[in-house]
A and B are shown apart, each in its own frame.
Chain A
Amino acid sequence: MTNSNVFNQSNGPLYTQLTNTFSAPGIESTPEGGAAAAGSSFALTTNNVSVGAGLNLLLQVVNAAGSGRTLYVSRISGGTTAAATLIVYSGGTITGGTTPAPVNTLLGNTNTSVMTTRQNTGTLTGTLTSLLSIPLTAGMYMLNLNGSIIVPPGQTLSISAGTGSQTASINLSWWEF
């Protein structure tokens, strides 16, 4: 008769104690670090853009229905040259503009993102829900979201920084699988 599995019950876990100390710490990395090493981490930038009076810098990623992957937002960063408001939305429509290409942060890796993008200056339209609204002063901003905003297939994430007139940028960093 073979042995049963002795410890394998989720409601009867094996009690353990980490004995690592400062002189021999356990080494842990982040989802960002693991995703980058696996070629699943992407960077998208608007570059520094001149934004006209009354307009916002807009950046959007669309995860198409049926893409088979989910986007986890790692970081939103950038800067402005005057006071502004940074707003992160679920949904929204950007008309016209450009489609900046996400870059794999494992440099030279040929895995491409399944997300589509759009960038323009103006005002976001369509159906949207505000997730986050942050006042900015002139200078850089950096929001480490660590995967706390999730964009499954069929969903859209839009980011707005403004209003002008000023120079602004939005950088979106994510992993997807």
Chain B
Amino acid sequence: MPNDHVFNPLNRPVYTSITNTFTSPGIVAPPENNAGSTGNLYNAGSTNSTTLGLLGGSVIATVQLTNPVGSGKNVYISRLSGGITVALNLLSSFSGTMTLSANGTLTSPTTLTPVNNNLSSSNTSIATVRFSTAAPTGTTTLLAMPLQVGPFLTNELGRYVVPPGQSINLSVSGSLSVGGLMASTSYFSWWEA
């Protein structure tokens, strides 16, 4: 007569109690850790640095990450980062925003090459990354906020998933009402699986 399954009936799980202590903790890590060590974690973005004329204007950095139809993988957003730099004496005439959005179209885009975060990996990203110095059009907004001058960095841990045929945009915009040198920066970090 065969034995029953002693372990693991779905409705009768094995109750466990972890005995690790602070002197020998079990080590766990987020998906980025394993995606990085296996060469599936990527990074791309750029800066738009512009000298504005007497009447000021906007300096925009938009990076668009597109997962092509038929790629066979999903893109999981790991991190958004970037920021705005401007001379301190111009702060009173400054305003800034950050917008994360889905799909839509870029104006006059250039192509960025994703960098593999595992510096020895020869894996290449399935994603198409484009950069524009204008805001994207026809998007669905996921997140919007005013920014002050300085850096921002938000860890997303796969909170946004981009399946094949979808795009995600990170757009950072700084504006001055007087002339000055201003730079806006947008970066995505993501893993593919």
Q: Could you tell me the distance in whole angstroms from the C-beta of A21 to the nearest C-beta in chain B?
A: 5
Residues from chain A with Cβ under 8 Å of B34 in the complex: 25, 27
Q: Is the CB of B33 within 8 A of A27?
A: yes
- The interface on chain A, measured as residues whose beta carbon lies within 8 A of the other chain's beta carbons, has a size of 56
Q: Is the CB of A36 within 8 A of B145?
A: no
Interface string of B17-43 (1 = CB under 8 A from A): 111100011111111011000000000
Q: In the complex the two chains form, what is the Cα distance from A9 to B12 in whole Å?
A: 9
Q: Could you tell me the distance in whole angstroms from the C-beta of A106 to the nearest C-beta in chain B?
A: 5
Q: In the complex the two chains form, what is the Cα distance from A16 to B162 in whole Å?
A: 37
Does any Cβ of A come within 8 Å of B86's Cβ? Answer: no
Does any Cβ of B come within 8 Å of A159's Cβ? Answer: no
Does any Cβ of A come within 8 Å of B13's Cβ? Answer: yes
Q: In the complex the two chains form, what is the Cα distance from A5 to B18 in whole Å?
A: 20
A33-B158, A105-B159, A107-B163 are contacts. A139–B147 as well, Cβ < 8 Å? Answer: yes
Residues from chain A with Cβ under 8 Å of B9 in the complex: 5
Q: Is the CB of A139 within 8 A of B158?
A: no
Q: In the complex the two chains form, what is the Cα distance from A17 to B23 in whole Å?
A: 13
Does any Cβ of B come within 8 Å of A47's Cβ? Answer: yes
Does any Cβ of A come within 8 Å of B88's Cβ? Answer: no
Q: Is the CB of A26 within 8 A of B144?
A: no
Q: In the complex the two chains form, what is the Cα distance from A8 to B19 in whole Å?
A: 18
Q: Could you tell me the distance in whole angstroms from the C-beta of B22 to the nearest C-beta in chain A?
A: 13
Chain B contact residues, CB within 8 Å of chain A: 1, 3-4, 6-7, 9, 12-20, 24-31, 33-34, 74, 76, 95, 97-98, 102-103, 140-148, 150, 152, 154, 157-163, 165-168
